[in-house]
Amino acid sequence: MKKIASERFGLTMIAATLIAIVISASQLYLHNSHNRDEAIKVAGRHNIRLLSKLTLSQLMPEQGHDAILELLNNNHNSPDFAYAAVVNAKNQPLATSSTGKTTIPEITLQNQSNWVSEDTIEQDGEKLLEFRAPILEQGLLAGFIRIGYFQPKMDFQLQKLPFFGQLILPVFLLVPLAYWLIRRELSPLRQVSDDMNDILKKQNMNADYNSATDFQDFMENFKLFMTKIDQRFEQLNHQSTKAQATTLALSYQRRRIESALQSLPDAILVMDETGIATFVNSKLLPLLGISLDKILGQQPQIWCESIEIIDLLAKYHNNNHRLQRSDTIEFNPVNNPEKTIAVSAYPLFAPKEIETICGTLVVFHDKTPEMLADQGRHEFINHVAHELKSPLNVIHLYAESLSDEGGIDPVQRIHAINVINDEVERLSGLISNLLNISKIEAGNIVINRQRIKLTEFLEDIFSSVSLSGSDNHMDFDLQLPNNLTNIKADKDLLRIAVNNLLTNAVKYNKVNGKVTLAAEETDQSIFIRVSDTGCGIKESDQTLIFEKFFRSDDDYVLQKNGHGLGLALAKEIVELHHGKITLESKLGQGSIFKIELPKTSTTI
Amino acid sequence: MKKILIVDDEPHVALVLKQFLERAGLCVLTALNGELALSIIKQESPDVIVTDVQMPRMGGIELCETIKRTMPDLNCLLILMTSRTDREIRIWVEKQANIEMMEKPLSMRRLLVRVNDYFARSI
């Protein structure tokens, strides 16, 4: 199709050239004819003027001698010369000379002009141009001189052929040459055009064009190519913007997911289907003590020191049989053997193919706090059970002793009854302490804040404790400043806290010891201080003394009844009022417990 | 006179047991914890030792083990008083010779029956 188009272009060129040649040749011919016409007229007029200047006698010196006409005939130097004749005034030829191609036409000299005239005469189908002039003899009209020329015809003159041939040949030669040159010069264009076409075809943008020539082909193709390129460029630009936006969104989402994974309380490890770690969160470092760089991009055998974990993870990367469910083991890390870590592996299924496993999620959960809490709970229950059973046991034993058939003496009986009473009270105190602690710890207790006249309040507690402790010959001292600010607090709870400190001060005091209850006030806080001159608390116990059920293993302490809840409860109550409780003590010298209540939360 | 040692950190328990067993005609010694008990055992070589399990400064189980380890020749019945009905303690007691377990709250009469039974067999 394209070949034919390009050949057609060649043929059209040749045809156009031929038409141009024909037009040029005809123009040339017409021009030539016109020139001949003019030349005849010029030659005729010139000759007739020359001859008309001669007299008849000069023209014809002798009768029948027509030398001048012969001369003219032989030297007219024009292919169109027909004849020359001298006629008398009556139009009778006196002398003639012709080329023999035609006879001298007979004409009627109707208009006997005195001057030169021209006439077109038709004879035997040929047009003749005749120039006439009168001949004078001694001033009188003696005759006429007539010179005839063939009027040039529109015919092809063979003698002119070489001229035309010379003219046309180079053009004929030049045309194919030019055509060949153009084609040769255009061939790279064609190549480019073909290439562009191929690209367009490849890009599925084939155009429906129908152009005639290579160059047009090229231009059309080029235009189309540019349009398509432009479209494609627009499209790509659009796609690129879209892709950039998508990439940004994806990267944001990825960062968010990674951030979520990093924020998880447990350590996370994600492995691909070959067991190579692809993601690790920072929680794994403190758990295993292995730097994350060593884990990422590696298989468990490389970084993991625990055979249990390697065995667990191997189940998920076994090509023959991959575990399809989660599995959990517990292990103690080498760097931290007292910790217990639960390692759970979960197979990751490909999003759309439920059967295909694309990796494993491994969660490392530090179970130590839970285990400690479990252990603590267990210990607490044991403790409570023990503390409850001990007084019950004593009551049971004394009750049994009272019911002894053998009978016991009255002193022992009274003692038994007193012990039973004491133990019942102790049991009741223990239970209410337990309930209070449990309420505070569960956050269920509602502080019933009421206005407390601190001076009266402290005096009241002081007097009740000092009465009960008077048996031991103790010295009680109350140091309260004047105008102590009234406070807003839960009266019942605060009474328990202060009472617990005071009874402890009495319980663990020496015989003849001293118990002091004092209060101080600063701009920020109110301090309630309970000091004793008792056994004191050894340094190692001072941090533990406020813990539930803690009892020192000092002999002096062990001799006294106690269940280790009094100080724990006092601390909880003070903290409930946003205050704090502190202790200063030296073994054997006594202890000072100080309650600090901030005025911001307790003053009116 | 047969000697019986009561080991309990609760002074009232030791006292009431002492009064009851003395009325039954036994010589009763008391100790507040395992450590004090060991020194008394060394001096007095009691025939029966009744001990609490949970005590500060050497509990009942540690006391039993120490006695078995340091005084293998001591011919003596060990009775553990425990509030713990723990399987572990029960299993441990079952494996030991001459160690028995009595649960709290303790019945003094049952204790006396058991002790008398032991004395009757050992004669």
Specify the pairing of strand A487-490 against strand A514-521. Answer: unpaired
Q: How many domains does chain B have?
A: 1
Per CATH, the homologous superfamily of domain A265-366 is: PAS domain (3.30.450.20)
Contacts of A449 (CB under 8 A, 6+ apart): A488, A489, A490
Question: What is the Cα–Cα distance from A577 to A497, expressed in whole angstroms?
Answer: 11
Average pLDDT, chain A: 82
Question: What is the Cα–Cα distance from A335 to A292, expressed in whole angstroms?
Answer: 15
Confidence of residue A581 (pLDDT cuts 50, 70, 90): very high
- DSSP characters for A71-102? HHHHS---TTEEEEEEEETTS-EEEEEE-SSS
Mean pLDDT within A553-569: 79
Closest-CA residue in chain A for B107?
A397
Segments making up each domain of chain A, as ranges: 2-155, 178-263, 265-366, 382-445, 446-602
Hey, CA dihedral for A380, A382, A383, A388, is it positive or negative?
positive
If you average pLDDT over each of A33-42, A89-98, A254-263, which comes out highest?
Answer: A254-263
| Chain A residues with CB within 8 Å of chain B CB | 382, 385-386, 389-390, 392-398, 400-401, 404, 406, 408, 412, 416, 419, 423, 551, 553, 555, 558-559
Burial of A507 (0-12, 13-18, 19+ CB in 10 A): middle
**pLDDT over 90 at A27, yes or no:** no
**pLDDT over 90 at A184, yes or no:** no
Question: What is the Cα–Cα distance from A335 to A7, expressed in whole angstroms?
Answer: 90
**pLDDT over 50 at A120, yes or no:** yes
Closest-CA residue in chain A for B110?
A400
Mean pLDDT within B20-38: 91
Using a CB-CB cut-off of 8 Å, the residues of chain A touching B109 are 400
Radius of gyration in angstroms for the set of CA atoms belonging to chain B, rounded to a whole number? 13
What is the structure's pLDDT at A114?
60
pLDDT tens by residue, A67-76: 677 777 776 6
Closest-CA residue in chain A for B8?
A390
Using a CB-CB cut-off of 8 Å, the residues of chain B touching A423 are 12
Is 3.30.450.20 the CATH number for A2-155? yes
pLDDT tens by residue, A294-321: 888 988 888 888 888 888 888 888 777 7
**pLDDT over 60 at A172, yes or no:** yes
Residue A220 CA to chain centroid, in angstroms? Answer: 38
Average pLDDT, chain B: 88
Question: What is the Cα–Cα distance from A472 to A510, expressed in whole angstroms?
Answer: 9
pLDDT tens by residue, A186-222: 778 778 878 877 877 776 655 555 555 666 777 777 8
Using a CB-CB cut-off of 8 Å, the residues of chain B touching A378 are none
CB contact under 8 A, A390 and B10: yes
For A558, the enclosing helix (H) or strand (E) is: helix A555-558
Do residues B101 and B93 make contact, with C-beta atoms less than 8 angstroms apart?
A: yes
What is the structure's pLDDT at A406?
67
Share of chain A above pLDDT 90, in %: 15
Share of chain A above pLDDT 70, in %: 90
| Residue B39 contacts A where some CB pair is shorter than 8 Å | no
Q: Is the whole model's pTM more than 0.80, yes or no?
A: no
CATH of the domain at B71: 3.40.50.2300
Question: What is the Cα–Cα distance from A329 to A308, expressed in whole angstroms?
Answer: 8
A6-14: which pairs have CB atoms within 8 A and are 24 or more residues apart? A6/A183, A6/A213, A6/A214, A8/A212, A9/A212, A9/A213, A9/A214, A10/A179, A10/A183, A13/A175, A13/A179, A14/A175, A14/A176, A14/A179
Residue B4 pairs with which residues in a beta bridge? B28, B48
Residue A135 pairs with which residues in a beta bridge? A143
Confidence of residue B67 (pLDDT cuts 50, 70, 90): very high
Residue A294 pairs with which residues in a beta bridge? none
pLDDT tens by residue, A345-393: 998 888 777 778 888 899 999 888 888 888 888 887 877 887 788 888 8
**pLDDT over 70 at A428, yes or no:** yes
Do residues B51 and B86 make contact, with C-beta atoms less than 8 angstroms apart?
A: no
Q: What is the DSSP letter of A354?
A: T
CB contact under 8 A, A558 and B12: no
Contacts of A489 (CB under 8 A, 6+ apart): A447, A449, A450, A452, A577, A597, A602
Is 1.10.287.130 the CATH number for A382-445? yes
- DSSP characters for B63-111? HHHHHHHH-TT---EEEEEES---HHHHHHHHHSTTEEEEESSPPHHHH
| Residue B35 contacts A where some CB pair is shorter than 8 Å | no
Whether omega for the bond prior to residue B105 falls within 30 degrees of 0, making it cis, is yes
If you average pLDDT over each of A75-89, A149-163, A514-528, which comes out highest?
Answer: A514-528
CB contact under 8 A, A397 and B84: no
Confidence of residue A1 (pLDDT cuts 50, 70, 90): very low
Phi, psi of A45 (to 5 degrees): -65, -40
CB contact under 8 A, B32 and A382: no
Radius of gyration in angstroms for the set of CA atoms belonging to chain A, rounded to a whole number? 71
Using a CB-CB cut-off of 8 Å, the residues of chain B touching A410 are none
Extract the tokens encoding A485.
């600010």
Number of Cβ atoms within 10 Å of the Cβ of A297: 10
The domain of B105 spans: 3-122
Cβ-nearest to A401 among B16, B54, B84: B16
CB contact under 8 A, B57 and A558: yes
Cβ-nearest to B19 among A389, A395, A401: A401
Extract the tokens encoding B47.
């025939």
Cβ-nearest to A401 among B20, B32, B33: B20
Using a CB-CB cut-off of 8 Å, the residues of chain A touching B57 are 553, 558
Mean pLDDT within A265-285: 89
Range name among A198-207, A530-539, B42-51 with the lowest pLDDT average: A198-207
Specify the pairing of strand A267-272 against strand A449-452. Answer: unpaired
What is the structure's pLDDT at A207?
53
Using a CB-CB cut-off of 8 Å, the residues of chain B touching A419 are 12, 16
Q: What is the DSSP letter of B1?
A: -
**pLDDT over 90 at A337, yes or no:** no
Question: What is the Cα–Cα distance from A112 to A108, expressed in whole angstroms?
Answer: 10
Using a CB-CB cut-off of 8 Å, the residues of chain A touching B108 are 397, 400-401
Most B CBs within 10 Å, among A382, A384, A394, to test the B interface:
A394
Phi, psi of A599 (to 5 degrees): -65, -30
CA angle A378, A382, A383 (to 5 degrees): 115
Using a CB-CB cut-off of 8 Å, the residues of chain B touching A401 are 16, 19-20, 108
Q: Do domains A265-366 and A382-445 have the same CATH topology?
A: no
Confidence of residue A526 (pLDDT cuts 50, 70, 90): very high
Burial of A55 (0-12, 13-18, 19+ CB in 10 A): middle
Third-level CATH fold of A446-602: Heat Shock Protein 90 (3.30.565)
